[in-house]
Amino acid sequence: MPTARSLITIMLAVTLLSACSQVRPWERGYLAKKEMAWDTDALESALNDHIFFSKEAASGGDNAAGGGCGCN
C-alpha cells in the first residue's frame, strides 16, 4: 500500500519534471552566463568552506568533504 509520503514524492517529481523543457543547444545563452555557474568564484568558496569547516560542525554537501582538516 503506497504511503502518503511516496505519493507526495511522486507528485513533486511529476510537478518538477513537467516544468522541465527541452532547452536546445542554441538557447543556452542565459545558462552560459558566469553568474549562473554553480560556483562563481572558486577561491571565495574555497575560503568560505575552510572558515565554516573550522568554525562549525557541518561539512560536505556538494563537494568532497574537506580532508586534511585539523578541526575535529
CB of 49 to other proteins, least distance (A): 6
Smallest separation (angstroms) from other proteins to the CB of 13: 6
Query: Per rule CB under 8 A, is residue 8 in the interface with other proteins?
Result: no
Specify whether the CB–CB gap between 69 and 53 falls below 8 A: yes
Q: Does 10 bind other proteins (CB under 8 A)?
A: yes
Q: How far is the CB of 9 from other proteins (least distance, A)?
A: 11
Rounded Cα distance between 19 and 11, Å, is 12
Considering just the CA atoms, what is the radius of gyration of the chain in Å? 19
